[in-house]
A and B are shown apart, each in its own frame.
Chain A
Amino acid sequence: MDFLFNWLANIPPFAVPYALAALGLMICEKSGVLNLGAEGFLLVGALAGVGAILSAGASPAAALGIAMLATAALSLLFAVMVIALRVNQVISGLAIVFLAQGLTSLLGRTQGWTSRSFSGMPRIEIPWLSDLPWVGRILFSQDPVFYLTLVLIVFAAWALRNTHVGMRLRSVGENPEAADAAGIPVALYRFGAVVLGAALMGLAGGYLTVVISNIWVDNITGGRGWIVIALVIFARWQPLAALAGAVLFGGIEAVIPRLAATGFWVPQHFLLMLPYLLTLGVMVWSSLARRGRGGGPAALGDPFLREERR
């Protein structure tokens, strides 16, 4: 019972980065831009948060803001590549990941940010509610970003369906030719979606270091960016479904150290494979349920150029 309770209480911090990054990726992909650079954006956010705290003495909240800004700045490069220069979106995404891996590892070492721990963001206990048995500790004594994430997801789910901007964004991703003919500035919407999406991924990356690990080491994201790409497919580009998926992956990640601690006999390296194998399983399941491409923006991955209209 204690095991179950501890596990449930630890899921939220593991689920938050998945949920935030999935939301960011989804906004980007809703506009028709395939973003394989997620792992890179997470890394940049993670390092920027650490740098802000260690070198500028920023508060955790300010560090998360700086993580968002830094990632948004990198996403400008990605946006120019895929939207203005119409470079293959797969190549661009991979290039961003490698650029981010090299850049973060280099800066981490030259600035002396690697393997230096710092104090992170405190939890907030919501008065009265946090005293409730069970749910109090699971839902009402988490860090502030957890609550922000819930608000953002619900807002995005509503805004994509019910606001002008949301509907235009989706039309740009579904049929850029028609959107263009209707007078919607396709490139502008895509640019905005890439930058906003990257900022959310930067927040997710910053959360990993500023709130969870409180330390930077090379490639600290450990492939979460790739898992998020699968998660978005699994969630069929729906924010609320992505939240459910994030809880699933957060749950798996939260259970690994707990299983190892109980002396459950499986070599730890096999336990560490679990998130990746689960992700693969989820992709197979999505595909079996005929969801592989179902629900995805129809023009995902296609560059748009009026001069090349089909």
Chain B
Amino acid sequence: MTEAQDLPGRAAAAPATGRRRGRWPHLALEVRQHMPGPQQALMLGASLVAGIAISTLVLVAAGVPAGNLLDEFVISIFTRPRNLANVLVYTAPLVIVGLAAAVAFRARFWNIGIEGQMIFGAIGATLIANHDIGPEGARLYLMAATAAFAGMVWMLVPALLKLRLEVNEIISTLLLNYVAFNFLLFLLYGPWKDPQSAFPHSKMYDAAERLTRIGFFNVDTSIYLAFALAVGCFLLLVVSRFGFLLNFVHANPKMARAMGVRVAVLVLSAALVSAALAGVAGFVISAGIDNRMTQSFFVGYGFSGILIGFLARNNPVLVVFFAALIAVLMVAGQGLQVFYQIPSSMVLLIQAIIVICAAASEFLIRYRLRLVR
């Protein structure tokens, strides 16, 4: 059939440890050499459909009438402009965290600390807003830049620990999420608490510190920023020399090092760009959606970012597509919460189901099951 069959180590040639092998029909596993791109896309699409089907069953089990699901997820979103606007509002930060995940994963750096970096991004932006630093005209730019910088600072420790001491970045970035969250609570219950409110959040940003609306309900300029960043990441990852070298590192770090590529510098840069993006996402939510820093603005974005980066296979263009898909899920989830009292954790559960299905589909892309008689 393919050249794969001539490779050594095939099931049939393996030592007879499985007693039934060869006597009864059984399923044998074959390693595929390569599956064409369109076929891979089809597999991923099929896995998404499977994930959505399982999620539908879960929703029906939780008490949403099956007939109303289409209405909640598709019709109400695309026929009511207000809902569509909401999708766009959530798409912007989701694109940015998706890009953050994609850039880091390209360098085989597992940045699980996106939420921590978002928190520090928002803290940086709020610092500028609280102290009215800089002229009003440049305030928003200054806030965005500070947010990116603060996110990078928060990444510096785990990135350097990984490169100098081989400390596992999955655990270090994740632990720092908890540290960042406690620091956020310290600020919001302490020095930065809004004196005019009983709730723990910072005081409202001034008009010059809020992202301007673009004239379509509550959609603000962050949607432009998100698309610009997606284009920027496309240029960085797909077109530039940096992206080429990063692909090399992704494919085979040892080989890249042997060929004289400065792997450590590349990985550090990718980690810092990822953290800067996450910081900007924190700024976008604070200055665009909430108009202040709240204690839970970041919740769930870390996972959504990882999911989007994973589904998009670290491709910035696909990130935009999947971010929009997750935004639809989030807005529909709010509808379900209002009309059917479905807790918001349902959105998290559906995302987890989808990622499990998509991950499982990799199996069919890499292997082929064959019935041996």
Contacts and interface: CB of A to CB of B under 8 A. Distances in A.
A103 interface: yes
A119 interface: no
A273 interface: yes
Contacts of A77: 356
B81 to A, nearest CB: 30
Contacts of A279: 171, 175
B31 A307 contact: yes
A257 to B, nearest CB: 15
Contact of A102 (B29, B179, B183, B346): B346
Where chain B touches its partner, the secondary structure class is helix
B53 interface: no
B11 to A, nearest CB: 6
Contacts of B33: none
B359 to A, nearest CB: 5
A183 B356 CA distance: 32
Contacts of B350: 102
Interface centre among A233, A270, A272 (most CB of B within 10 A): A272
Nearest to B350: A102
Contacts of A235: none
A287 B165 CA distance: 6
Interface residues of B, number: 52
Given A90-B170, A283-B172, A307-B31, A101 B345 contact: yes
Nearest to B366: A86
Contact of A276 (B110, B161, B176, B359): B176
A260 B183 CA distance: 17
Given A102-B345, A218-B345, A95 B359 contact: yes
Nearest to B157: A280
Contacts of A86: 363, 366-367
A283 B175 CA distance: 11
Contact of B353 (A99, A101, A181, A222): A99
A192 interface: no
A102 B11 contact: no
Given A99-B353, A110-B343, A307 B11 contact: yes
A305 B110 contact: no
Contacts of B62: 106, 110
A95 B355 contact: yes
A116 interface: no
Interface of B: 9-11, 14-15, 17, 29-31, 62, 110, 112, 161, 165-168, 170-172, 174-176, 178-179, 182-183, 185-186, 189-190, 303, 306, 310, 343, 345-353, 355-356, 359-360, 362-363, 366-367
| A-B CB proximity, top 7 nearest | A102-B349, A105-B345, A102-B348, A99-B352, A269-B186, A85-B363, A98-B352
24 contacts: A85-B362, A86-B363, A88-B362, A90-B170, A98-B355, A99-B352, A102-B350, A106-B345, A218-B345, A222-B178, A226-B174, A229-B171, A230-B171, A230-B175, A270-B182, A273-B178, A273-B182, A276-B175, A279-B171, A292-B168, A306-B11, A307-B31, A308-B31, A309-B9
Interface of A: 36, 77, 81, 85-88, 90-92, 94-95, 98-99, 101-103, 105-106, 109-110, 180-181, 183, 185, 218, 222-223, 226-227, 229-230, 233, 267, 269-270, 272-273, 276-277, 279-280, 283-284, 287-288, 292-293, 305-309
